[in-house]
C-alpha cells in the first residue's frame, strides 16, 4: 500500500501574472510549486551545502531534455525501453568474465555405466590398497517434511566389490577399507523409465483427446538466477550464439520482470497469478495448481530440478512440498550432493559441478521419455546468485547440454525456454542507472522446432513480432496454456491467461506495465529519466522520510534491531512523463524520484522510488536493499515476517 506524507503548503505568488502567455505562466507556476519549498531563497542548508543553483531546475523541471537520439529496443506508444550497450561506460569497469570453475579432484572409486555402478579397479589398485567393499544405499524424499535428511531404504542396501545393478532413482555409494573405515562417498541419480506411469498418462491423453488432437509438444524450461538480458549477452556468449545461429531461437527484448526476487516472478510463470493472490500462509505448497499439474493432467511425465536445496525456489524460508510435486523430483539428490560436499555453499560434489548433475539428469530424462510427452522445469542458481559475473560458469555446461539434446534430435518436438528470473539485485553494477534497468529486464529465449515454424508459420511470425513488445511473466504462463491447448487439438486454444497473452499470439502494442501487473518501480517503460542532484534539498528530505519508513517497519522488532539513521545519499534520479511535452497545459505534473542511500550503523544501501505530486511523498512499492546482508539480520530469521525484516534489520547483538 502506498505510504504518503503531506508536505507543508507553501504560500507563493505569481510574480508574472501579467505575462501575456498565460498558459506558459501557469505551467511555470506548477513547476515552481513542485520544488518551491526547496528553491526559493535557499542558499545553503543546515549542513552548509549550497543550493543556490537549484533555481536553475525550475525551468527544466517540466521540460526535461528528451534525448531524441536514443535508440529503443521497445518503442511503442505506451512503452519506451532504451537499447543500452552491454558494455556501456557506466558499467564496463565492473564486468569480469569467469568461464571455468574447477572442482577439487578426487580419485573416485566407482563410476556409472548404464544402470550399473562399477568399481574402478585401476583406481583401487593405485590409491586404495586396503579397499574391501562398497555399499549401495538407495534413498527417497522424506514424505511430509522438507527439513532434515532423506529417508534411506535400508532393506535395499547391498554390498559389492565389482558392480551393482541400479534399481532406484537416487543412491549413495559408500566404500570402506579392511578396517571398516570410510574411504569415499559418492552420489548418483538415475532416470528409471516407469512403464506403469507411461500407461497411466497414455490413458489420460486418450480421455482428453479430441478428433482434431495433434501430437502434444514437449516443454523444457531452464531458468537462470539473476540473469538480465544484457548479462546473458556478456557472460553466456557461447550459449547465445548456439541458440540464435544454430537453433534459431527468438530473444524477447522487452521481457520485464514483475516481482522483487525469484519467488514472485516464478509464481507468475507457474501459477499465472500474483503472490498477493496466492494467499501464501507459509504452509506446504501441494495444494496450489502449478502448471506442471496441468501438464500431468494432459498426460505428460514431469521433472523439476534445482542446483541448491537451502535457497531453492519453494524452500528458502518456506516449507516446500509435503509430497513429491512432480514425477521426477531432484531435490533429494541435490540435498545429498550438498551433504556429500560437506557444505551447501560449495558448487561441487565430488569432481563435478552440482549444476552439471542437474543438467545431466535433464538430458537423461528427455532421452528416457523421448516417445512420451514430457515437461521439465529446472533452475540453475548457485554461480550467479551472489555474483552476476559468475554466470559465465554456466555457459559451457549449458552449451554442452543444448548441443547434446539438439544433435540427438531430442528437441524435434519440444518448446524450449531459457530465461532469467530477474537481473542482478546487488553489487556495484546494480548501483548504476543501467544496473537498475538491467535488474528489471531478464533474459528470455524461446526455441520452436523446425516443423512447427513451418506448419504454424503464423504463430512463429507472431513470436518474432512480439520480441520487440512489452512482455512479462504472465505471458509465459499463457504460452504454456496455449501449448497445452494446441496439443489437445482445440480449434481456439486458450491463448490468454488472467493477465497475459501467449507469446505465440499477436500481443497488443498499446499494452502497459499496469496491464501486466508490473509495479511502476519495476517498469522499464519509463518515458524519461535523468540524474538529479543528490545535494538537492528535496532529495535529502525524501531520503530522511524513507529512513523513517524503514524504522517504522522495524518498530515491532526494535528490541532486536538497531535504529537506522541516514548516512549518505549516493545517487538520485527523477522521471517525468513524456506526455507533459505534448500537452504542456496538464497540471500538476507527476514526478517520480529514485533515491539510493546508505544508513548507519549497518552501512546498508537502500533504494526507494518516491512519487512527488501535489506536495505529497508517496512511496511506490518496497524499499529495496541493493547490497548483501548475509549475517546482519540473523536475529529475525525465525520471525513470521522474516522475508521482509531481513532486508532492513541490523541486529543489536
Q: What is the CATH number of the domain that holds 546?
A: 3.10.450
Q: Which long-range contacts (C-beta less than 8 Å, at least 24 apart) are formed by 45-49? A: 45/537, 45/540, 49/535
Burial of 241 (0-12, 13-18, 19+ CB in 10 A): exposed
What angle, 0 to 180 degrees and rounded to 10, lies between the N-to-C axes of helices 473-488 and 262-271?
Answer: 30
Report H helices in 306-391: 331-341, 354-368, 382-385
The reported pLDDT for the residue numbered 209 is: 75
- 178 and 249 together in one domain: no
Question: Is residue 1, in this structure, part of any structural domain at all?
Answer: no
The reported pLDDT for the residue numbered 206 is: 87
Of 130, 110, 33, the closest CA to residue 587 belongs to: 33
What percent of the chain shows pLDDT beyond 70?
Answer: 84
Of 443, 434, 598, 603, the closest CA to residue 529 belongs to: 434
Q: How confident is the model at residue 20 (pLDDT cuts 50, 70, 90)?
A: very low
- 533 and 392 together in one domain: no
CA distances from 326 to 202, 265, 291, 330, 338 (A): 17, 20, 11, 10, 21
- 164 and 88 together in one domain: no
Angle, vertex CA 475, rays to CA 446 and CA 489, nearest 5: 75
- Whether 43 shows a pLDDT value over 60: the answer reads no
Q: How confident is the model at residue 577 (pLDDT cuts 50, 70, 90)?
A: low
User: Can you tell me the mean pLDDT for 195-223?
Assistant: 89
The residue with greater pLDDT, 142 or 354, is 354
User: Can you tell me the mean pLDDT for 332-360?
Assistant: 83
- 221 and 148 together in one domain: no
- 133 and 275 together in one domain: no
The reported pLDDT for the residue numbered 575 is: 79
Question: Is residue 45, in this structure, part of any structural domain at all?
Answer: no
Question: Is residue 39, in this structure, part of any structural domain at all?
Answer: no
Angle, vertex CA 231, rays to CA 226 and CA 234, nearest 5: 145
Alpha carbon 573 to chain centroid, angstroms: 25
Show the domain range for 603: 529-578+588-651
> Which is it for strands 348-349 and 170-177: parallel, antiparallel or unpaired?
unpaired
Question: Is residue 55, in this structure, part of any structural domain at all?
Answer: no
Q: pLDDT, tens digit, for every residue of 370-394?
A: 999 999 999 999 999 989 999 999 9
The residue with greater pLDDT, 638 or 327, is 327
The reported pLDDT for the residue numbered 583 is: 47
- 264 and 341 together in one domain: yes
Number of domains within the chain: 3
Question: Is residue 447, in this structure, part of any structural domain at all?
Answer: yes
- Whether 582 shows a pLDDT value over 80: the answer reads no
Q: Model-level pTM?
A: 0.86
- 390 and 436 together in one domain: yes
Question: Is residue 508, in this structure, part of any structural domain at all?
Answer: yes
- 505 and 603 together in one domain: no
Question: Is residue 59, in this structure, part of any structural domain at all?
Answer: no
Q: pLDDT, tens digit, for every residue of 418-473?
A: 999 999 998 899 988 899 999 999 999 999 999 999 999 999 999 999 999 999 99
Question: Is residue 28, in this structure, part of any structural domain at all?
Answer: no
Amino acid at each position: 500500500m502506498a505510504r504518503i506524507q503531506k508536505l507543508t503548503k507553501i504560500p507563493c505568488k505569481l510574480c508574472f501574472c501579467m505575462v501575456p502567455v498565460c498558459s506558459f505562466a501557469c505551467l511555470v507556476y506548477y513547476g515552481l510549486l513542485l520544488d518551491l519549498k526547496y528553491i526559493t531563497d535557499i542558499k545553503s542548508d543546515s549542513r552548509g551545502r549550497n543550493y543556490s543553483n537549484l533555481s536553475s531546475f525550475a525551468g527544466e523541471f517540466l521540460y526535461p531534455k528528451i534525448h531524441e537520439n536514443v535508440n529503443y529496443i521497445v518503442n511503442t506508444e505506451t512503452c519506451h525501453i532504451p537499447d543500452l550497450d552491454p558494455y556501456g561506460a557506466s558499467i564496463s569497469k565492473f564486468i569480469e568474465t569467469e568461464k571455468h570453475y574447477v572442482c577439487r579432484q578426487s580419485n573416485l572409486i566407482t563410476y556409472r555405466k548404464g544402470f550399473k555402478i562399477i568399481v574402478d579397479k585401476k583406481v583401487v589398485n593405485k590409491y586404495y590398497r586396503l579397499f574391501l567393499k562398497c555399499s549401495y544405499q538407495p534413498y527417497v524424499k522424506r514424505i511430509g517434511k522438507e527439513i532434515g535428511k532423506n529417508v534411506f531404504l535400508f532393506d535395499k542396501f547391498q554390498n559389492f566389490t565389482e558392480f551393482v545393478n541400479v534399481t532406484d532413482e537416487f543412491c549413495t555409494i559408500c566404500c570402506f577399507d579392511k578396517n571398516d573405515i570410510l574411504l569415499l562417498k559418492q552420489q548418483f541419480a538415475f532416470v528409471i523409465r516407469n512403464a506403469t506411469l507411461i500407461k497411466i498418462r497414455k490413458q489420460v491423453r486418450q480421455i482428453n483427446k479430441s478428433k482434431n488432437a495433434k501430437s502434444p509438444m514437449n516443454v523444457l524450461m531452464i531458468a537462470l538466477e539473476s540473469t538480465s538480458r544484457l548479462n546473458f549477452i556478456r557472460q553466456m556468449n557461447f550459449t547465445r550464439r548456439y541458440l540464435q545461429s544454430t537453433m534459431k531461437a527468438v530473444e524477447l527484448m522487452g521481457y520485464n520482470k514483475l516481482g522483487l526476487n525469484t519467488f514472485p516472478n516464478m509464481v507468475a510463470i507457474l501459477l499465472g497469478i500474483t503472490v498477493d493472490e496466492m494467499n501464501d500462509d507459509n504452509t506446504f505448497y501441494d495444494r496450489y495448481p502449478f502448471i506442471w499439474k496441468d501438464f500431468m493432467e494432459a498426460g505428460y511425465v514431469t521433472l523439476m530440478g534445482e542446483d541448491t536445496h537451502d535457497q531453492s525456489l519453494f524452500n528458502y524460508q518456506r516449507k516446500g512440498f509435503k509430497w513429491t510435486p512432480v514425477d521426477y523430483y531432484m531435490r533429494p539428490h541435490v540435498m545429498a550432493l550438498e551433504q556429500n560436499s560437506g557444505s551447501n555453499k560449495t558448487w561441487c560434489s565430488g569432481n563435478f559441478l552440482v549444476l552439471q548433475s542437474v543438467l545431466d539428469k535433464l538430458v537423461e530424462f528427455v532421452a528416457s521419455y523421448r516417445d512420451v510427452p514430457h515437461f521439465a522445469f529446472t533452475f540453475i542458481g548457485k554461480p550467479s546468485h551472489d555474483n552476476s559475473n559468475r554466470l559465465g560458469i554456466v555457459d559451457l555446461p549449458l552449451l554442452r547440454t543444448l548441443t547434446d539434446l539438439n544433435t540427438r534430435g531430442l528437441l524435434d518436438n519440444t518448446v524450449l525456454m531459457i530465461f532469467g528470473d530477474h537481473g542482478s539485485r546487488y553489487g556495484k553494477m546494480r548501483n548504476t542507472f543501467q544496473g537498475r534497468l538491467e535488474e528489471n529486464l531478464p533474459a528470455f529465449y524461446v526455441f520452436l522446432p523446425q516443423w512447427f515454424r513451418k506448419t504454424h508459420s503464423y504463430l512463429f511470425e507472431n513470436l518474432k513480432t512480439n520480441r520487440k513488445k512489452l512482455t512479462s511473466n504472465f505471458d509465459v504462463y499463457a504460452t504454456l496454456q496455449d501449448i497445452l491447448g494446441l496439443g489437445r487439438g482445440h480449434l481456439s486454444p486458450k491463448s490468454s491467461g488472467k493477465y497475459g497473452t501467449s507469446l505465440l499470439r499477436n500481443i497488443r502494442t498499446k499494452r502497459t506495465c499496469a496491464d501486466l501487473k508490473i509495479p511502476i518501480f519495476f517498469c522499464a517503460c519509463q518515458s524519461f529519466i535523468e540524474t538529479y542532484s543528490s545535494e538537492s534539498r528535496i532529495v535529502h528530505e525524501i531520503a530522511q522520510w524513507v529512513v523513517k519508513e524503514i524504522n517504522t517497519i522495524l518498530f515491532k522488532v526494535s528490541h532486536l534491531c538497531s535504529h537506522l539513521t541516514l548516512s549518505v545519499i549516493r545517487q538520485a534520479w527523477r522521471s517525468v512523463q513524456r506526455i507533459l511535452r505534448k500537452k504542456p497545459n496538464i497540471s500538476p505534473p507527476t514526478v517520480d524520484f529514485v533515491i539510493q542511500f546508505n544508513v548507519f550503523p549497518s552501512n546498508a544501501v537502500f533504494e526507494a522510488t518516491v512519487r512527488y505530486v501535489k506536495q505529497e511523498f508517496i512511496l511506490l512499492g518496497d524499499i529495496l536493499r541493493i547490497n548483501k546482508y548475509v549475517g546482519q539480520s540473523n536475529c529475525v530469521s525465525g520471525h513470521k515476517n522474516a522475508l521482509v525484516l531481513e532486508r532492513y534489520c541490523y541486529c543489536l547483538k
